[in-house]
């Protein structure tokens, strides 16, 4: 591998999803070969002679239908690859499936993915097959994967977990009153589905601060007069996985950490039950390493930013908006520094590495103790929801995002803003059993 290739790889790989890129590549071929405008027709499929429309044709519609059939066939074939991969994984040889060979980073699929049916729905809304100049994009494939996941999980859904910022509300903002999202979340709770917000925001065990961020949602629960047993299905987990709250009958958040004994001691740090099995000195030393690297990033890139240290997190908050590349650099640098530290004799001898998450938060960068993989597993254990009945919704699924780890615990939907979350929940509610 040449140094030039390695530089380009490290610059680009963390910005891509290999499965989506694989699908995009397959869809590009029929688009290039078949999506050109017809020579004798104008944009609307009209045949013109001497500047006069002599007849209207259905060529544009025929081309669109043909494109849709080609794209749908590709998605059906990918669906078959996913089914084969799941069968191979069930036999303990997942790495030998055809899909694993062409997408080595592929993970587990907890449900089948009806991709052909999902594409039909997405194409009807976004008219992908009608385009002549713009091929199927990353977002087209992402939306199709989301829809396939909704179609598969809706009949068995027991738990939905959500990221906070840029999923339920804008970055750094609060959950507002009169939000359509609130009504949809209330509907999920009424249908017997547990709902949890698993967020990086960490305010310790101070429930009032989380209530401030989620005031609009809590007021919506009260306005809907949600029954106590339905309200009890709502949870908040702050600091990725560190601070657990439930909802009382009067729609207030109450700490559940002690009630559910999240630190039994007999399990490993990678298990939900062993969330706090590591020692305070281990946490302090890891955060010291992360803070040192973040300060080095600030100096190296001449960033005007504050370093904020919390009991289980350390991060930088810039005075002005940084570029995505700068924030990615901070996240990747901190990630490498902590990984290097945990593999050295300086780490606590004989102890398991502490799970952590170094991520680009969109407007800041943080290193948290624990991660959302543990967070989702905690909620799954509380409500007894298996992986194939659990859905996590978030906007950070690239390697510098903190939603990525949840793919090891449950099904996922990748959205990009609260409006898309609302549309996704509209689709989900319509698919739920009556």
First-to-last alpha carbon distance for the chain, in angstroms, is 56
CB atoms within 10 A of CB 10: 10
In sequence order, the 6+-apart residues with CB closer than 8 A to the CB of 343 are 353
Q: Coil, helix or strand for 356?
A: strand
How many C-alpha atoms does 309 have within 13 Å on its Cβ side? Answer: 12
Query: In what helix (H) or strand (E) does residue 243 lie, and over which residues does it extend?
Result: strand 243-247
Alpha carbon separation from 417 to 286, 308, 379, 413, 424 (Å, rounded): 32, 26, 24, 12, 11
Q: Is 163 a catalytic residue?
A: yes
Determine phi and psi for 323, rounding to 5 degrees: -75, 160
Structure tokens at 84: 């084969």
CB 374 within 8 A of CB 355: yes
Q: Is 180 a catalytic residue?
A: no
C-alpha span between 55 and 158 (Å, rounded)? 55
Q: Which of 123, 140, 163, 328 is the catalytic position?
A: 163
In sequence order, the 6+-apart residues with CB closer than 8 A to the CB of 413 are 146, 149, 150, 391, 392, 393, 394, 424
Q: Which of 123, 165, 368, 395 is the catalytic position?
A: 165
Give just the sign of the alpha carbon dihedral 161, 166, 172, 173: negative
CB 45 within 8 A of CB 54: no
C-alpha triplet 415, 190, 117: angle, nearest 5°: 45
DSSP code string of 261-329: TS--SSS-TTSGGGTT-S-HHHHHHHHHHHHHHHHHHHHHTT--EEEEEETTEEEEEESSPPPHHHHHH
Active site residues: 163, 165
């Amino acid at each position: 591998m040449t140094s030039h290739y390695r530089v380009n790889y490290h610059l680009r790989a963390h910005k891509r999803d290999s499965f989506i890129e694989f699908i995009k590549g397959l869809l590009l071929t029929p688009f290039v070969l078949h999506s050109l405008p017809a020579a004798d027709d104008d944009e609307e499929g009209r045949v013109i002679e001497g500047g006069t429309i002599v007849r209207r044709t259905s060529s544009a519609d025929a081309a669109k239908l043909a494109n849709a059939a080609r794209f749908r066939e590709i998605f059906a074939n990918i669906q078959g690859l996913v089914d084969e991969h799941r069968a191979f994984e069930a036999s303990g040889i997942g790495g030998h499936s055809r899909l694993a060979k062409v997408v080595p980073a592929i993970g587990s699929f907890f449900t089948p993915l009806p991709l052909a049916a999902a594409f039909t729905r997405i194409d009807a809304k976004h008219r992908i097959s009608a385009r002549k100049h713009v091929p199927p994009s990353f977002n087209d494939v992402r939306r199709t994967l989301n829809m396939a996941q909704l179609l598969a999980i809706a009949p068995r859904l027991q738990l939905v977990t959500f990221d906070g910022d840029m999923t339920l509300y804008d970055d750094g903002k609060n959950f507002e009153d009169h939000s359509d999202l609130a009504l949809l979340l209330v509907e999920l709770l009424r249908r017997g589905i547990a709902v949890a917000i698993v967020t990086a925001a960490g305010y310790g065990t101070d429930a009032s601060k989380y209530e401030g961020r989620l005031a609009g949602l809590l007021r919506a629960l009260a306005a809907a007069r949600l029954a106590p047993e339905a309200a009890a299905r709502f949870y908040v987990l702050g600091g990725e996985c560190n601070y657990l709250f439930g909802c009382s009958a009067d729609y207030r958040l109450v700490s559940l950490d002690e009630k559910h004994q999240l630190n039994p001691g007999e399990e490993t740090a990678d298990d939900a039950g062993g969330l706090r099995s590591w020692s305070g000195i281990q946490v302090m030393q890891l955060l010291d390493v992360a803070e040192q690297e973040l300060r080095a990033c600030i100096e190296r890139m001449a960033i005007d930013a504050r370093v904020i240290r919390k009991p289980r997190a350390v991060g930088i908050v810039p005075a002005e908006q940084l570029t995505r590349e700068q924030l990615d650099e901070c996240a990747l640098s901190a990630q490498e520094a902590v990984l290097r530290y945990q593999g050295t004799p300086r780490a606590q001898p004989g102890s398991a590495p502490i799970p952590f998450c170094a991520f680009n938060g969109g407007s800041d960068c943080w290193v948290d103790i624990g991660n959302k993989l543990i967070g989702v597993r905690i909620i799954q254990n509380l409500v007894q929801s298996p992986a194939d009945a659990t859905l996590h919704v978030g906007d950070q699924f690239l390697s510098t995002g903190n939603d990525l780890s949840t793919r090891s615990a449950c099904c996922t939907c990748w959205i990009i803003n609260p409006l898309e979350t609302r549309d996704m929940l509209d689709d989900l509610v319509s698919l739920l059993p009556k």
